[in-house]
Amino acid sequence: MDLTRTQVAGRRRGAVARFGLIALPVAFFAAFFAYPVAAIVARGLKVDGAWRFGRIGEVLAQSDVRHVLWFTTWQALVSTALTLLIALPGAYVFARFDFRGKQVLRAAVTVPFVLPTVVVGTAFLALVGRGGLLDELWGVRLDTTVWAILLAHVFFNYAVVVRTVGGLWAQLDPRQEEAARMLGASPWKAWRQVTLPALGPAVAAAALMVFLFTFTSFGVVQILGGPTFSTLEVEIYRQTSEIFDLSTAAVLTLIQFVAVGAILALHAWTVRRRETALRLVDASVTARRPRGAGQWALLGGVLVTVVVLLLLPLAVLVQRSLDAPGFGYYRALTRADGGVFLVPPIEAIGNSLEYALAATVIAVVIGGLAAVALTRRDAGRFVRGFDALLMLPLGVSAVTVGFGFLIALDEPPLDLRSSWILVPLAQALVGVPFVVRTMLPVLRAVDARLREAASVLGASPWRVWREVDLPMVRRALLIAAGFAFAVSLGEFGATVFIARPDNPTLPVAVARLLGRPGDLNYGQAMALSTILMVVCAVALLVLERLRTADRTGEF
C-alpha cells in the first residue's frame, strides 16, 4: 500500500514536472516567435480591421514576385545538387579513411557552417568580386553571376553533408558490402544495392537541410546577388525596409512559412526513416589508411576540394584585411566616422560577445527544458508535436521576426523595443533548435528505468535530473552551448532590424561597411569579418575537442 501511494505521488510529481518543463519553452516561443510573426502578417493583410486575403492572389500575380519565387526555388535545387555532388566524396573519405591531420581537417571543414552568412558572402566577394583574387589574376569576376551564390552555398553547406551522411557511413558495417562483392557483385553494384539504401535516409535528410538553408538564404544573396538576384528572404527585407510595403512582405512571409513547413515535415519523415534498425559498428574500427592508387587519388581530390573551395576564400578574406600597411584597416576600426556608426566599429566585437553570451544562456535554458520534456516517456501528443515547431525559427524569415519584434514588442507588458535584451532574444530563437537537436540523442540514450527507480525512491524531479541525467549529458550540454553561441554570434537577418546604431553587432557592422563605397570601408569590412571568423573558429575548435573526447553522435 505504501508503495502504491509512493507511485501515485511520483506520478503526480511527474505530471507537474512535465507541465513545468514544457510551459516555459511554449511561453517563450508564443511570445517571441508566434506573436511577432503573426503581428507583422496581420499588419500587412488587415485593412480597417478586415482581412484582405485577396491580396495573396494580387501579389502572386505580379511578374517580379513570380520571378523571385522561381529563382529562390531554382537556386536552392541547384545548390543542393552541387553540394551533394561535391560533398559526398568528402563524406566517404572522412568516414572510411584514417590519415594524419584528420581531426584538424574535420574541424576546418566545419568552420564555414558556423560562420555568419555575412562573412561567407564577404569571403567570396574578396575572391570573385571586383578587385578580388580572380579579378587580379585573370580578370574574371563572378559577383554579377549566379555562380558566386551557388559556390558560396556549397561552401556554407559542405559540412552538413559530411557530418550527416559521413556520421552514419562511418558506422555502417563494411562487411555487408564485402559479402556482396564475394558473391560476385562489382564494386559499383555492391555499393548501389547494399550501402546506398542504408545511406538513403541520411542523404535525403542532408539534402533537405541544405535545401532549407539555401531556400531561406539571406546574407549570402544580399551581398553577392546585388540588384539582379533576390530570394524570398531578401525580397521580404527589401519590401519591409526599403519600399515599406508590409502587405507584400506579409504575403511573401506566408508563402515562405508554408514552404518551410513542408520541408520540415519531409525532414521529420526522413529522420524517422533514418532511425530504423541498421547494423551499426564502432566508427573507430571502420576507418583505415587508403589502399591503392584509386583511394589515394580520391583522398587527394577531396583535400584539393577542401583547400580550393573552403580554405581559399577564408585565406583571401584574411589577406584582403591586411592590404593596408601597418594593419591600417584594423586600426581604422578604432575610430568613429560619425556616418555609418555612432561609435568606433571595434565596439561591435564587445557588443556581439555580450549579446551572444546572453542568447546562449537563454537558448540553453529554453532548449534544455524542451529537450528534457521531449524525452519523457509520459510526454503527450502536444509535447511531441512541439518538437517539430522548435525547428521553425531556422526556416521562417528572420527578417520577419526582427521587424515583428519592432512592431509587436512596443507596448506593455512586452515593451522591449528600447531594451538591450531584444537582440539576445532574437538570437536565442535560432540557437534553441541547435540545443534541442544536440541534447535529444543523448537524453534518449539514458535508461528510463534509472529515472523511474530514483523517482520511486522518493527523489524529486529536480534531484532525478541532477543525479541521473546531468552527469550523462554534461558534455552534450557544453556542445549545445557552443553551437548556440556560434549561431547567435553570426545571426544577421533579425538583428539588422533591432540592433541600435550605437550598439551594432559584428554581422550588422560588416553589412553596413560593405554598403558604403570606398576602399577604407571595404577593408574595414574584411577586417571585421576576419575577427568574426576567428572567434567562430575558436568556438568550433573547442566544440570539436569536446566531441572527440566524448563521441555522442553527429549533428
Cα-only R_g, the chain = 25
What is the rounded distance in angstroms from the CA atom of residue 270 to the CA atom of residue 274?
A: 6
Residue pLDDT, tens place only, 85-109: 999 998 888 888 888 877 778 777 8
What is the rounded distance in angstroms from the CA atom of residue 143 to the CA atom of residue 129?
A: 5
The pLDDT > 90 percentage for the chain reads: 8
Query: Range with the lowest mean pLDDT among 164-168, 173-177, 368-372, 412-416?
Result: 173-177
- For residue 434, give the C-alpha cell: 541547435
> What's the pLDDT band for 134 if we cut at 50, 70, 90?
confident
Mean pLDDT of the chain: 78
| HEC profile of 253-284 | HHHHHHHHHHHHHHHHHHHHHHCCCCCECCHH
Residue pLDDT, tens place only, 202-245: 788 788 888 888 988 888 888 888 778 888 888 888 888 777 78
40 within 8 A of 408, measured Cβ to Cβ: yes
Closest CA to 333 of 525, 163, 107: 525
Res. 334: pLDDT tops 80: yes
Let me know if 31 is exposed, middle or buried by CB neighbors in 10 A (0-12, 13-18, 19+): middle
Question: Ramachandran region of residue 349, left (φ > 0), alpha (ψ -120 to 50) or beta?
Answer: alpha
List C-alpha distances in Å: 530 to 115, 171, 195, 209, 485: 10, 36, 41, 27, 17
What is the rounded distance in angstroms from the CA atom of residue 178 to the CA atom of residue 183?
A: 9
Instruction: Please tell me which residue, 499 or 9, carries the higher pLDDT value.
Output: 499
Residue 380: predicted pLDDT: 54
511 within 8 A of 503, measured Cβ to Cβ: no
What is the rounded distance in angstroms from the CA atom of residue 387 to the CA atom of residue 528?
A: 36
Top-confidence range, 79-93, 159-173, 366-380, 534-548: 79-93
Q: What is the mean pLDDT of residues 288-309?
A: 85
Res. 264: pLDDT tops 60: yes
Residue 337: predicted pLDDT: 63
Closest CA to 363 of 258, 251, 247, 483: 483
What is the rounded distance in angstroms from the CA atom of residue 427 to the CA atom of residue 102?
A: 32
- Supply the pTM of this predicted model: 0.78
Res. 135: pLDDT tops 90: no
Residue 72: predicted pLDDT: 92
